[in-house]
């Protein structure tokens, strides 16, 4: 196989991400995915167990990317506002790096089985807790307005997660530029003000 050529499994994941984003999980059939890849519907099962497993793999892999980006930032010893800015930029980078997978992770995850939905909810909660640790530290050090750290964290992550609805990779701003811009907007809104 030539370098840079996606395997059939990678092509399946890519097609499923795109179709789940465009049509929704339930409106996408296994046949739709197979046609998008250029193989017979039955042949798809030599590469995947089923559509539910495919959704799980996409969502779980997206969660892995978010954790891989955030954990080194949280554990670093730099000042908290620098870490929080890097965390925002890293989150934006993960979303922008695969807009289709980010959309599936943000919206379509709710179609997972109850057991898998519980597992991904626990992972999302753990990620939010990591992010909240930075926000709490910034509030404690009086860089941000004293507020509920959980609410502030939800505000930040909510403002970042739906980037997939408007970000254009071919646009005038890189994902890094977008991350810097959004962090500036967020900090200007949350910065501590003297009376």
In the predicted model, is pLDDT for residue 5 greater than 90? Answer: no
Query: Is 106 within a domain?
Result: yes
Supply the CATH number for residue 20's domain. 1.10.10.60
Q: What is the mean pLDDT of residues 25-52?
A: 87
Give me 5's structure tokens. Answer: 């050529």
Same domain for 30 and 1, yes or no, is yes
- Calculate ∠ Cα 159-164-169, nearest 5°: 120
pLDDT of residue 6: 65
Read off the DSSP letter of residue 42.
G
Pair (84, 35) in one structural domain: no
* Domain match, 35 and 70 both: no
> Please, which residues have CB within 8 angstroms of residue 116's CB and are 6 or more apart in sequence?
52, 56, 59
Which residue range(s) make up the domain with 6?
1-48
Q: Are residues 169 and 91 in the same domain?
A: yes
Are 71 and 158 members of one domain?
yes
Tokens of 103: 């959309």
Residue 25 and residue 18: Cα distance in Å, rounded? 10
Q: Identify the pLDDT of residue 48.
A: 81
pLDDT at 195 over 80: no
Per-residue pLDDT reduced to its tens digit, 117-139: 999 999 999 999 999 999 999 99
Bigger pLDDT: 18 vs 6? 18
Domain presence at residue 195: no
**Residues 127 and 57 reside in one and the same domain:** yes
* Cα distance between residue 77 and residue 84, in whole Å: 12
Q: Does the pTM exceed 0.85? A: yes
Determine the pLDDT at residue 2.
43
Q: What is the predicted pLDDT for the residue at 164? A: 94
Tokens of 48: 């995947």
**Residues 55-65: pLDDT tens digits?**
999 999 999 99
CA dist list (Å): 158 to 56, 71, 141: 22, 19, 24
Contact 156, 131 (CB under 8 A): yes
What would the pLDDT profile of 65-122 be if each residue is shown by its tens digit?
999 999 999 999 899 999 999 999 999 999 999 999 999 999 999 999 999 999 999 9
Q: What CATH number is associated with residue 142?
A: 1.10.357.10
Q: How many structural domains comprise the chain?
A: 2
Looking at the domain assignment, is residue 76 inside a domain? Answer: yes
Where is the domain boundary, 13, 32, 48? 48
Distance from C-alpha of 182 to C-alpha of 178, rounded to nearest angstrom:
6
């Amino acid at each position: 196989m030539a370098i840079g050529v996606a395997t059939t499994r990678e092509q399946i994941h890519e097609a499923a991400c795109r179709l789940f984003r465009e049509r929704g999980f339930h409106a996408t059939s296994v046949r739709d995915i197979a046609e998008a890849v250029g193989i017979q519907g039955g042949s798809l099962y030599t590469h995947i167990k089923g559509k539910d497993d495919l959704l799980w793999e996409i969502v779980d892999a997206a969660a892995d990317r978010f954790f891989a980006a955030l954990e080194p930032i949280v554990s670093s010893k730099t000042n908290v506002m620098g870490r929080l800015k890097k965390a925002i930029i890293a989150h934006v980078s993960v979303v922008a790096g695969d807009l289709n997978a980010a959309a599936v992770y943000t919206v379509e995850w709710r179609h997972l089985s109850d057991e898998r939905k519980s597992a991904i909810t626990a992972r999302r909660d753990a990620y939010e807790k990591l992010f909240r640790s930075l926000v709490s530290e910034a509030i404690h050090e009086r860089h941000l307005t004293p507020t509920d750290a959980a609410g502030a964290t939800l505000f930040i992550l909510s403002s970042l997660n739906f980037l997939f609805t408007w970000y254009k990779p071919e646009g005038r701003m890189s994902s890094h530029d977008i991350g810097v811009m959004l962090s500036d907007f967020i900090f200007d809104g949350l910065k501590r003000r003297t009376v």
